[in-house]
Amino acid sequence: MTLIPGDGIGPEVAEATMRAVEATGVAIEWERVEAGVTALEEYGELLPGEVFASLEYSHVGLKGPTTTPVGGGHQSINVALRKKLGLYTNFRPVRMLPGLKTRFHDVPVNLAIFRENTEDLYSGLEHEVIPGVVESLKIITQHASMRIARAAFEYAKREGRCKVAAIHKANIMKMSDGLFLQCCREVAAHFPAIEYSELIVDNACMQLVMRPQAFDLLVLPNLYGDIISDLAAGLVGGLGIVPGANLGDHCAIFEAVHGTAPDIAGKELANPTALMQSAVLMLAHLGEREASARLQSALEHTYAEGEHLTSDVGGSASTGEFTEAVIRNIR
Ligand code: NAI
């Protein structure tokens, strides 16, 4: 198994997650490789070749967040990994944890977000047309739109989700988002038992805050998926909670929605729940259903007790104290 600890709070939450995974009793041999600013300092590269070498062999990775320096000539590490490894689906389940007092704690939020992961404005195609005018190319292809729509509907069918909403801005971007919608409609037609709807992204933001319980599964192009994921995280207690999976046909990388959180790095304040819940998804993907269920139920138990939570979710425990509580609950 490839482990990319990453930067900022990455190594702290990765360490905590490895310990929790080990406590489930599952035998995993981790191969640790560096990416991000840590790798840049050590090897002169943000994304050294050994990261790909390891993933090509293991096919499964657990990843902490990584810094991509703003500006300059650096391509985002996440974009590079997702494109090179064909990780076209970004799946993010957003669920309320028991006992957690959030602004929406009395609303049963249970969303599945399917974000297209390889194109849109993340294609990195930007150039200066004339001085003072730059262009950024939004690429939407039928191929990528069809495969994310299929992934979303197949998941909905498998997991008993009843409603799929495609999020877009096709009233303005008639061709690009129009093509995305056309693909979603084509796939939806093969799943008549699933209720299909379409929503303009700005309206979707408002509706998600007003009545999140009305939504089930969302399928989105890359940029809207990125933004809506953080909005949805805010509904269930913040970025410390929400896990994610980057899935392709041959490889999968599990990582939290959050970034490197430089404001709290090294202070023992990071909440490892998001990466631990990503590990829950990873264990299920590996067929380790029992270990996956044990870790999830230990997390839920720890939240229901509410005594050892980190400060981002209203507690006063350190990363280590929270981790110990989860491990006790696994045992
Ligand atoms: P961020 O997600 O790192 O932080 C946003 C806010 O949420 C901060 O106040 C932070 O303290 C808090 N937060 C995030 N995760 C938390 C956790 N586990 N526990 C407690 N609080 C948590 O977003 P920001 O500040 O926009 O980005 C910082 C860096 O992270 C940037 O360099 C960005 O490029 C990178 N990033 C990397 C990602 C990845 O590798 N998957 C994803 C998003 C951002």
Tell me the pTM. 0.95
Give pLDDT, residue 124: 83
For residues 183 and 117, membership in a common domain is answered with yes
Q: Whose CA is nearest to atom 8 of ligand 1?
A: 261
pLDDT for position 329: 97
**In a 3-state reduction of DSSP, which class is residue 241?**
coil
For 57-60, the CB contacts below 8 A with 24+ separation are 58/1, 58/2, 58/31, 59/250, 59/251, 59/252, 60/1, 60/2, 60/251, 60/252, 60/253, 60/254, 60/282, 60/285, 60/286
Distance 144 CA to ligand 1 centre (A): 27
Choose the final residue of a domain: 220, 235, 250: 235
Residue owning the nearest CA to atom 32 of ligand 1? 67
Q: Please determine, for residue 248, whether its predicted confidence score (pLDDT) is greater than 80.
A: yes
One-letter amino acid of 311 = S
Which residues contact ligand 1 via a Cβ below 6 A?
Answer: 9, 13, 65-68, 78, 239-240, 255, 258-264, 270-271, 274, 312
- Beta carbons of 123 and 137 less than 8 angstroms apart: yes
Residue 97 domain-assigned (yes or no): no
Instruction: Enumerate the active-site residues.
Output: 122, 169, 202, 226
> Do residue 252 and residue 230 come from a single domain?
no
Within this chain, do residues 211 and 121 fall inside the same structural domain, yes or no? yes
Residue nearest to atom 24 of ligand 1 (CA): 259
Closest Cα to atom 43, ligand 1: which residue? 259
Q: Are residues 152 and 225 in the same domain?
A: yes
Residues in Cβ contact with 143 at an 8 Å cutoff, skipping those fewer than 6 apart: none
* Of 20, 13, 30, the residue nearest 64 (C-alpha): 13
Asked whether residue 71 is domain-assigned, the answer is: yes
The residue range of the domain holding 47 is: 1-89+241-331
Q: Of 327, 310, 328, whose CA–CA distance to 319 is shortest? A: 310
Question: Is 98 domain-assigned?
Answer: no
**pLDDT 10s digits, 127-162:** 999 999 999 999 999 999 999 999 999 999 999 999
CA 37 remoteness from chain centre: 20
Atom number, ligand 1, closest to the C-alpha of residue 65: 40
The mean pLDDT value for 285-300 works out to 97
- Indicate if 83 and 198 belong to the same structural domain: no
Query: What pLDDT is attached to residue 79?
Result: 87
What would you report as the CA-atom Rg of the chain, rounded to the nearest whole angstrom?
A: 20
For residue 259, report the distance from its CA to the centre of ligand 1, in Å: 3
pLDDT band at residue 101 using 50, 70 and 90 as cut-offs:
confident
pLDDT digits (tens, 9 = 90+) for 51-100: 999 999 999 999 999 988 777 667 788 888 998 999 999 999 999 999 99
The rounded Å distance from CA 129 to ligand 1 centre is 32
Structural domains of the chain, count: 2
Pick the closest to residue 17 from 258, 254, 272 (CA basis): 272
